[in-house]
Amino acid sequence: MIGQYKRTKPDIDNLIKTVLDAANGHLWKDDNQIVEIQSFKKYADEPKIVIYLDIEGD
């Protein structure tokens, strides 16, 4: 199952919200600055969250 999409709980929208809120004040001032998200859940050997940022100016 490693690498296959995970279609069970937790819901992906809840995971996204948790990560965005936790990163407020650390990776960005506020998550209202984020304009695009691409996200997926897959089975892996170890649980993890990977974030790639593309930062653009104002």
Q: Is the pLDDT confidence value at 57 over 90?
A: no
Please name the residues in contact with 12: beta carbons below 8 A apart, sequence gap of 6 or more: 39, 40, 41
Mean pLDDT of the 36-48 span? 96
Report d(CA 47, CA 10) in Å as an integer: 13
Q: Is the pLDDT confidence value at 9 over 70?
A: yes
Q: Is the pLDDT confidence value at 49 over 90?
A: yes
Number of Cβ within a 10 Å radius of residue 42:
10
Is the pTM higher than 0.85? no
| Token pair in block for residue 57 | 């100016």
At 58, the pLDDT band (50, 70, 90 cuts) reads low
3-state SS, residue 41: coil
Mean pLDDT of the 21-48 span? 95
